[in-house]
Amino acid sequence: MSTISRRNFLKGSAIVAGAAAVGFHGVFGVRRVFGQMKDDDLQTVLNLAATAETLATTHYYTALTKGGIMFGDFEKAYMVAALEAEQIHLDYLNANGAQALTGEFYFPQGVFDNKATLAAVTEVAENAFIGAYLAATRIFAAADQPLLAMVAAQVAGVEAQHLSFMRGIGGQTPPNNVALLEPIFYNVSDAVPTLTPFLDGKAEGFESMAVAYPGRDKVMEVVGMSALKPVLPATDPDVFKGM
């Protein structure tokens, strides 16, 4: 897959996901009826979010350490910041009882060889992450967990930053092409079909060998000194102290 467009990737993902859904759900324990209106339980939300963040961290880490793309200084600074942000999201989820469904992922052939392909694939993934976190915001609010809903919104906003920048790297104009984030999923588990090709490696045009999540220590070696502003999650007791 030397070139890839967002439209073609989404179409291919949907076809593959439909064929592979039963097998994937059986292996990873995700059970759902497509089109259902019942909300995901909170543990499912946490586990799927942790899976997505593990995928995202692996994606950015691999692009920085094993791909053939030469990033400019500004681009590299962004990529490192995105990598650290995804790891921080994962740390938060793990600290709150989440368990990723897998630590190994499959990527489209050539995704780490040029900026256009990297940007197109990342746009698909980030759109799925944003949609899932918007769904999580709704679910947490419905479950009377307003602070968790705020955290999900905090994360969705950062994923939107990633989406905009990657569209810019890929030459999409304008990079910030929406006035509102797209609520493409009602439940977090609705994102599973879009992400299945990354998780089971059965899609045409994907590498046959999985890439393992490198672990926090290796991620932080690449990050080095953090350039991120320290912001607490809304669930931290110090956030609203004195208000």
State the pLDDT at residue 36: 55
Cα 207 → chain centroid: 19
Q: Is the CB of residue 125 less than 8 Å from the CB of residue 56?
A: yes
Contact 195, 55 (CB under 8 A): yes
Interval 122-130 mean pLDDT: 95
Any domain includes 243: no
Whether 153 is covered by a domain: the verdict is yes
Question: Tokens 């942000």 — which residue?
Answer: 85
* Residue 133 scores a pLDDT above 90: yes
DSSP state of 112: T
CA-wise closest residue to 193 among 109, 132, 110, 236: 132
Give the span between the Cα atoms of 180 and 191, in whole angstroms: 19
Q: Say if residue 225's pLDDT is above 50.
A: yes
DSSP 108: B
What 3-state class would DSSP assign to 181?
Answer: coil
* Full residue range of the structural domain in which residue 130 is found: 6-31+40-223
- The pTM (predicted TM-score) of the whole model is 0.86
- 239 falls within a domain: no
Residue 112: pLDDT band by 50, 70, 90 thresholds? Answer: very high
Of all residues in the chain, the percent with pLDDT exceeding 70 is: 84
230: confidence class by pLDDT, cuts 50, 70, 90: very high
pLDDT > 60? residue 64: yes
Vertex 182: Cα angle to 180 and 187 (nearest 5): 135
What is the arithmetic mean of pLDDT over 118-124?
94
| pLDDT band (50, 70, 90) for residue 159 | very high
Q: How far apart are CA 65 and CA 107, in angstroms?
A: 15
Residue 234 lies inside a defined structural domain of this protein:
no
In a domain, 75, yes or no: yes
pLDDT of residue 243: 67
pLDDT at residue number 242: 67
Percent of the chain predicted with pLDDT > 90: 80
Q: Is residue 108 part of a domain?
A: yes
Mean pLDDT, residues 40-57 taken together: 96
Position 167 pLDDT exceeds 60:
yes
Residue carrying the six token digits 């030469």: 70
Q: Is the pLDDT of residue 122 over 80?
A: yes
Q: Per-residue pLDDT tens for 20-37?
A: 333 334 334 444 444 556
Question: 213 lies in a domain?
Answer: yes
- The pLDDT-based confidence of 67 (bands split at 50, 70, 90) is confident
Whether residue 229 lies inside any domain: the answer is: no
Number of structural domains the chain divides into: 1
pLDDT of residue 241: 82
Strand partners, 206: 108
